Amino acid sequence: MGLLGGHGLELIVVLVVALLVFGPKKLPEMGSAIGKSIKEFKNGVNEITKPKEEEEVHTTQSATESARLELEAIERELAAKKAALAAQEAAQPEVRATPTVD
């Protein structure tokens, strides 16, 4: 095994043939195009597997947001009831114990 692995000679032959067929100006463009294609392929594969994970995160975030909104509504209702009770207590006259005279 050489520096390029077990297939070093085959790789060199392929590169020389590509250089002869496409020329030195087209070879970098083709390498770039192949690199972009591989990157897009990897992104496509990731998109196939990621939506499940993102959907789970989105569902958890939605449930958390719903729970937070429900808690805020309960807190507002409780504050309104406390205010109504305080107003009711303030409106009632204080009843003091007065001694009865016989």
Tell me if the pTM is above 0.85. Answer: no
pLDDT per residue as tens digits for the range 62-82:
888 888 889 999 999 999 999
pLDDT per residue as tens digits for the range 13-32:
888 888 888 888 888 888 88
Q: SS3 for 47-95, per residue?
A: HHHHHHHHHHHHHHHHHHHHHHHHHHHHHHHHHHHHHHHHHHHHHCCCC
> In Å, how far from its chain's centre is CA 10?
45
Sign for the CA dihedral angle at 67, 70, 72, 78 comes to negative
